[in-house]
């Protein structure tokens, strides 16, 4: 466990490039059942695997990293979703690649505040993915599934921080709780010396993840409609993570409704109805 910040962004990237990526306990259970079904009946396909474990951002990340590592130089098509990654790898190689998995519960055993912090980020990721898919479908985006994956992965660096440096993650949380106006990026720079968005982009590049996913998760390229879709989905999920009627949500929603409405060509009233429908 890291208890002190590393000297610079390169050091952070080098550390987390080699650090393990634990997954949800439910993912380990689901994979065990699927492996048994494949061994006994040979009935498992890529879609089944994706449906079982694709909602776990950390497992999705692991699958995409493994697919990128295995992709031959002669193959020019990237695997941009879990389903595509499993198809590229093959069912048997997929199961062989993930015979040993560490769970976040084991990683954070006895560290209740850290586990609660991680669960909060995971819940936000799930809601971000739902909003992003809803926005992408409304826009008739042919890459809607990739947009959903990008939103699910958008905050994976924060998840890894909770898993490997919970003390530092708790310090960031305390700063933001003490000052509701403090931006996440400012709190991260104060505690870590870097922004997690930069760490995330650096890791995705060294892992050779698909360029489309890298672009969609880069808030600094938010002028692109797909990237903006992901960014606004994450923003709405963050602002409403404690409910739609909290003071923070009420303060942020007018701007969110305007920006999402511009993206989707909807009025603020119609945008709010769509957000509630997606979140119901």
Of the residues 101, 123, 153, the one at which a domain ends? 101
Can you read off the two tokens belonging to residue 23?
């997954």
Partnered with residue 23 across adjacent β-strands are 103
Q: What is the pLDDT of residue 223?
A: 85
pTM, to two decimals:
0.95
Encode pLDDT of 212-255 as tens digits: 999 999 998 888 999 999 999 999 999 999 999 999 899 999 99
In total, how many domains does the chain have?
2
* Angstrom distances, CA of residue 187 to CA of 16, 195, 207, 264: 20, 9, 26, 32
For residues 94 and 115, membership in a common domain is answered with no
pLDDT tier at 129 (50, 70, 90 boundaries)?
very high
Of the residues 101, 119, 140, the one at which a domain ends? 101
Which domain covers residue 65, as residue numbers?
A: 23-101
Can you read off the two tokens belonging to residue 70?
């295995």
- What is the SS3 assignment for 232-272? HHHHHHHHCCCCCCCHHHHHHHHHHHHHHHHHHCCCHHHHH
Encode pLDDT of 175-212 as tens digits: 999 998 899 999 999 999 999 999 999 999 999 999 99
Please check whether residue 248 lies inside any domain of the structure: yes
């Amino acid at each position: 466990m890291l208890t002190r910040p590393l000297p610079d962004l390169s050091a952070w990237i080098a550390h987390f490039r080699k650090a393990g990526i634990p997954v949800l306990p439910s993912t380990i259970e689901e994979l065990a059942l699927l492996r048994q079904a494949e061994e006994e009946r040979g009935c498992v396909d890529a879609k089944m695997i994706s449906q079982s474990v694709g909602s776990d951002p950390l497992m999705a990340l692991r699958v995409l990293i493994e697919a990128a590592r295995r992709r031959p130089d002669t193959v020019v098509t990237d695997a941009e979703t879990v389903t595509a990654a499993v198809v590229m790898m093959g069912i048997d190689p997929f199961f062989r690649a993930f015979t040993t998995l560490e769970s976040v519960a084991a990683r954070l055993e006895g560290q209740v505040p850290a586990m609660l912090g991680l669960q909060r980020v995971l819940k936000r990721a799930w809601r971000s993915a739902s909003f992003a898919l809803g926005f992408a479908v409304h826009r008739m985006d042919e890459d809607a599934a990739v947009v959903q994956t990008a939103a699910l992965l958008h905050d994976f660096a924060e998840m890894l921080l909770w898993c490997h440096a919970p003390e530092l993650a708790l310090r960031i949380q305390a700063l933001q709780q003490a000052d509701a106006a403090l931006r996440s990026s400012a709190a991260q720079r104060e505690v870590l010396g870097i922004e997690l968005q930069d760490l995330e982009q650096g890791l995705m590049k060294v892992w050779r993840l698909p360029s489309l996913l890298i672009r969609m998760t880069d808030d600094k390229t938010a002028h692109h409609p797909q990237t903006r879709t992901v960014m606004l989905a994450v923003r709405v999920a963050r602002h409403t993570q404690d409910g739609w009627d909290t003071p923070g949500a009420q303060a942020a929603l007018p701007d969110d409704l305007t920006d999402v409405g511009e993206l989707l060509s909807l009025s603020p009233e119609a945008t709010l109805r769509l957000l509630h429908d997606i979140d119901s």
